[in-house]
Structure 1
């Protein structure tokens, strides 16, 4: 009787802990934290939920990359190319984006507190429901223009510019 119960419990545990392939992708994301990724090419790659915190990504190419749910916290992304990248639900807090190209990027529901946006190109970027502070919104509204090609949302509207 004991062995039958144990076998049943073990069977249930194995079913419970066997993750589907989609879940497995999110439970073991790629990690590039603390890495020097200067001049790397990640264009068009699927990097969902990848970790890039405290990384140096100066001049790195993320054109058209899928960065949904990625963690980019406290990284350097000066002069990086994020044209057309999907950063929905990404953590982009405390990131230096000076000179970066965010044109046509999707930043829906992204966390962008204390990110530095000096000399960035945000033409056509979608910031719908992104978390920004008032100073960042004011700065970005001064240069906001265009419509995102994927979401058809105007950059100025996504930022709530007046």
Structure 2
């Protein structure tokens, strides 16, 4: 009786464990470009959910219309980057250098942009709903905020809480 129960248990264990590799293939590991030099690379229209670009050189990189939900750009150099209509929901752009970047029509819902440099950024139609920004960043962005996001229908000034 014990032998039969032990055999049944081992058989069930083998079946259970043999299914794990098939399940793992459904969810590829996130892409990592940490410390990478990707100046001028074209990622436009790509799905890069939860990709990591921490401390990367992304000057003049094209992310237009890319799915970057949950992506990490912490401490990256993104001067002149094209993020037009990119979905950056829940993305981390903390301490990133976004000078002269194009964030027009981008979705930055619940994104983290604390201590990022945002000089000369185009934010026409960007949605910053529930994004984490420094007070100085909000004041700076409100000076130029205009437009309505084409995907969410949210007014840029409203998403920043501009007065």
Task: Decide: shared fold, TM above 0.5.
Answer: yes
User: What aligned pairs does 1:85-104 form with structure 2 within 5 A after superposition?
Assistant: 85-104=86-105
Deviation track 1:47-105 (CA, whole Å, cap 9, x = no partner) reads 11111111000011111111011111110000111111110111111100001000000
Q: Distance in 1 between matches of 2:142 and 2:69?
A: 24
Q: Distance in 2 between matches of 1:150 and 1:107?
A: 12
Q: Are 1:65 and 2:66 matched, yes or no? A: yes
In structure 2, the partner of 1:155 is: 156
In structure 2, the partner of 1:112 is: 113
Q: Distance in 2 between matches of 1:103 and 1:118?
A: 14
Q: Distance in 1 between matches of 2:7 and 2:133?
A: 57
Q: Distance in 2 between matches of 1:47 and 1:107?
A: 15
Unaligned runs of 5+ in 1: none
> What TM-score do the two structures reach when normalised by structure 2?
0.91
With 9-18 and 82-91 compared, the bigger mean Cα shift is at 9-18
Q: Distance in 2 between matches of 1:118 and 1:14?
A: 53
Aligned length: 159
Q: Are 1:11 and 2:15 matched, yes or no? A: yes
Secondary structure of the 1:41 match is coil
In structure 1, the partner of 2:84 is: 83
Q: For the structure 1 residues 73 and 3, does the alpha-carbon distance in structure 2 shift closer, same or farther, using more than 3 Å as the test?
A: same
Q: Distance in 1 between matches of 2:78 and 2:143?
A: 21
Q: Distance in 2 between matches of 1:46 and 1:154?
A: 25
Secondary structure of the 1:19 match is helix
Q: What is the CA distance between 1:5 and its match in structure 2?
A: 1.4
Secondary structure of the 1:78 match is coil
> What TM-score do the two structures reach when normalised by structure 1?
0.91
Unaligned runs of 5+ in 2: none
In structure 1, the partner of 2:137 is: 136
Secondary structure of the 1:12 match is helix
